[in-house]
Structure 1
Amino acid sequence: MELKQALGRRIKTLRELRGLTQNDLAAELDRSLDAVSMIERGKNWPSVPTIERLAAALKVSTTELFDDLGTAGPANGQDLVVVARELLTKLGQAELEVAVATLEALARKSSSSEVRPARTPA
């Protein structure tokens, strides 16, 4: 996935998680609805001042806008890294420990299935 498209998907996912419409975000940024739409669709790259305003409007750091960008595959058009982070922040300590243990088990399963040689029938 192209970097502009990945950033657009991240912005759209964050906007939706915050309950904002494109109109709301455009007003926060002092930009047009079309400008926000073009950024979210990966057609335009936002300027540095717009990136800073985006981060503030979406309540994330500029680092979070770009961290692990493009590493999450599409699922209903959402950025899975962002969705996972958002969900993790809502957990208490006990639930967070269960989530981490579950993720560790999934990572072990995934890495073992990638390394496992294919069996040939006897």
Structure 2
Amino acid sequence: MQKRQLSKSSARASSGPRKPDKKSRAAFATPEEVGRQLQLGLRIKALRDDRDLTQEQLAELIGKSVDTVSSIERGKSAPGFATAFDIAKALGVSYVDLFDWVERDKLTPQQKDQAVLVEKFRALIEGRSNPTMEDVVVLTEAISKAASKRAG
């Protein structure tokens, strides 16, 4: 009996669904996610420029390629947690401050409430506060609510 050789594309098609590659995953991002990525990228670029750092210098400081830094700054990709932490450290800001690009006077009342929670959380993780039990409960409920929204 003669064996039939499968081409790479037919072998791939018969092996079940494939995980999208990194470039095609961007096509699945919602407009809101893309907007946040761009805002984060612009924030990183502004902080880098304020410190007179080149993309090459930032890339070296965080152990990533210049292409990675460029892609993040243009909002084409989002850094993972560890990379964002490394970027914040290299730029001399806290991790939370890296994501702080919204002008406070343009916030809705709900967003202002969220900003208060973020500030409480920031003070807690930076060791600037002694939280009350009420603070812990409020923060835990907010995190739980946010997590369930993302999962649902």
Q: Which category of TM-score, normalised to the shorter sequence, fits these structures?
A: 0.5 to 0.7
Q: Which residue of 1 aligns with 2:44?
A: 11
Superposition map of 1:21-100 within 5 A: 21-67=54-100, 69-71=101-103
Q: Scaled by the length of structure 2, what TM-score is found?
A: 0.44
Q: Closer, same or farther in 2 for the Cα pair 1:33/1:14, shift >3 Å? A: same
Instruction: Kindly state the Cα deviation for residue 71 of structure 1 after the two structures are TM-superposed.
Output: 4.6
Aligned-pair CA distance for 1:70:
4.9
The CA distance in 2 between the partners of 1:9 and 1:65, in whole Å, is 11
Give the Cα separation in 1 of the matches to 2:96 and 2:80. 15
The one-letter code matched in structure 2 to 1:18 is R
Question: Structure 1 unaligned runs (5+)?
Answer: 73-122
Between the two proteins, the alignment pairs up a number of residues equal to 71
Change in CA separation of 1:10 and 1:34 when aligned onto 2, cut-off 3 Å: same
Aligned-residue identity in percent: 45
| Structure 1 vs Structure 2 CA RMSD | 1.7
1:52-80 Cα offsets, whole Å, 9 max, x none, are 1000000000111112x3559xxxxxxxx
* Residues 107-122 of structure 1 mapped to structure 2, 5 A cutoff: none
Separation in structure 1 between the aligned mates of residue 38 and residue 94 of structure 2, nearest angstrom: 19
**CA drift at 1:50:** 0.3
1:11 Cα deviation from its structure 2 partner: 0.2
- How high is the TM-score relative to the length of structure 1? 0.55
State which structure, 1 or 2, has the greater radius of gyration over its C-alpha atoms.
2
